[in-house]
């Protein structure tokens, strides 16, 4: 027994020594490069080999966010708004969206190829149009659209498969049919959970003004460049070298003033004006007194008509 323990101790010490020896053929974990597809605002595509550290520096992302994009792991659908990027993990579409470009994991998966081709097509078609969404929202919109289309197609495929099985089960209850129904039920539950996760993520974003504002990357980029507040509420597109302001640019929820603040500000201005004109206070008292007298006699006439009490 003791000899066995000594042997294990030697093997462990030898393994630690080999790990720290730094063989030239061994790569450290987390520093290997991956293939990325870069799509710019004009729809141009480039294939880049970028390591994890370079992506983190370029997009100002923490390491934990990049784990969501790893194709070797399965994560629930997530959309994260960061300072300079939006991290999107929707089914097979996993990408990083900035105010000027999209970094998409290079893959031959159907949804990834469709996203790349469709985004390039839309960007190249609409690059001369001024009235359009910011770049980051157009890229995010397409990811959501393709994800919903993919889930809808899977639901239809499952319906086509499950209805004949239910008909067979209604006519003949046996072990084979029950097993098929059980398998399809499991697939249906898994698909329902995936759909619900996408829905919950969207509802969470819609309900949180802070998260929505974090995803408005174009506004933050224009602000960092020192633009005026009026330019921050519009999207700048370039058509033939001329700067054009978009009319459909969304306003940041954080920068906008809600209804209660506007009402309070209007009321304060009115009150501060019952003090700028002292004579106006007398008119307010006169009109208020006349209204009260009129209301009093109106109630008397009403009570007399209803014979509530004798007058």
Instruction: Give residue 23's pLDDT.
Output: 37
Enumerate the domain spans of the chain: 32-212
DSSP per-residue letters across 24-47: TTPPPTT--EEEEEEEETT--EEE
Q: What pTM does this model have?
A: 0.60
What pLDDT digit, counting tens, does each position of 223-249 carry?
Answer: 877 765 455 555 444 334 434 444 444
Instruction: Give residue 213's pLDDT.
Output: 79
Instruction: Give residue 119's pLDDT.
Output: 92
How far is it, in rounded angstroms, from Cα 147 to Cα 274?
Answer: 58
Of the pLDDT bands very low, low, confident and very high (cuts 50, 70, 90), residue 310 is low
Instruction: Answer yes or no: are the C-beta atoms of 52 and 71 closer than 8 Å.
Output: no
Of the pLDDT bands very low, low, confident and very high (cuts 50, 70, 90), residue 20 is very low
Instruction: Give residue 130's pLDDT.
Output: 56
The mean pLDDT value of the chain amounts to 75
Q: Tell me the residue ranges of DSSP E strands in the chain.
A: 33-40, 45-51, 78-81, 86-90, 93-97, 101-105, 236-239, 242-245
What pLDDT digit, counting tens, does each position of 121-138 carry?
Answer: 988 887 666 557 888 999
How far is it, in rounded angstroms, from Cα 233 to Cα 250?
Answer: 7
pLDDT surpasses 90 at 184: no
pLDDT surpasses 60 at 183: yes
Instruction: Give residue 302's pLDDT.
Output: 83
What pLDDT digit, counting tens, does each position of 28-62 carry?
Answer: 444 567 889 999 988 899 998 888 889 888 888 88
* Sole residue written with tokens 């008397």: 300
pLDDT surpasses 80 at 296: yes
Read off the pLDDT of each residue in 177-203 and give the average, rounded to a whole number: 88
What pLDDT digit, counting tens, does each position of 102-118 carry?
Answer: 999 888 888 889 999 99
Percent pLDDT > 70 in the chain is: 70
32-212, CATH topology level: Lipocalin (2.40.128)
Which range has highest mean pLDDT (11-20, 57-66, 237-246, 278-287)? 57-66
Beta pairing class for 78-81 and 101-105 = unpaired
Instruction: Answer yes or no: are the C-beta atoms of 79 and 87 closer than 8 Å.
Output: yes
Instruction: Give residue 32's pLDDT.
Output: 67
């Amino acid at each position: 027994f003791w000899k066995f323990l000594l042997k294990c101790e030697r093997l462990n010490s030898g393994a630690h020594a080999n790990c720290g020896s730094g063989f030239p053929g061994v790569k450290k974990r987390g520093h290997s490069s991956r293939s990325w597809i870069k799509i710019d605002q004009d729809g141009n595509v480039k294939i880049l080999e970028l390591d994890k550290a370079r992506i983190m520096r370029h997009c100002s992302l923490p390491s934990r966010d990049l784990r969501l994009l790893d194709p070797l792991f399965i994560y629930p659908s997530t959309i994260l708004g960061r300072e300079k990027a939006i991290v999107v993990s929707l089914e097979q579409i996993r990408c990083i969206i900035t105010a000027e470009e999209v970094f998409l994991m290079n893959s031959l998966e159907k949804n990834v190829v469709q996203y790349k081709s469709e985004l390039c097509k839309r960007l190249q078609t609409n690059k001369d149009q001024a009235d359009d969404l910011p770049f980051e929202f157009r890229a995010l919109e397409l990811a959501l659209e393709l994800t919903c289309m993919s889930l809808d197609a899977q639901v239809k495929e499952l319906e086509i498969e499950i209805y004949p099985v239910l008909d067979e089960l209604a006519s003949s209850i046996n072990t084979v049919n029950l097993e098929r129904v059980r398998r399809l039920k499991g697939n249906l539950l898994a698909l329902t959970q995936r759909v619900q996760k996408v829905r919950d993520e969207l509802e969470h974003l819609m309900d949180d003004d802070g998260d929505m504002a974090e995803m408005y990357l174009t506004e933050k980029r224009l602000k960092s460049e020192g633009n005026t507040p009026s330019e921050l509420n519009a999207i700048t597109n370039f058509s033939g070298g001329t700067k054009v302001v978009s009319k459909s640019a969304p306003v940041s929820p954080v920068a906008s003033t809600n209804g209660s603040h506007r009402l309070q500000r209007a009321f304060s201005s009115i009150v501060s004006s019952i003090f700028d004109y002292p004579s106006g206070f007398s008119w307010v008292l006169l009109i208020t007194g006349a209204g009260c007298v009129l209301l009093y006699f109106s109630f008397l006439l009403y009570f007399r008509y209803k014979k509530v009490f004798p007058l």
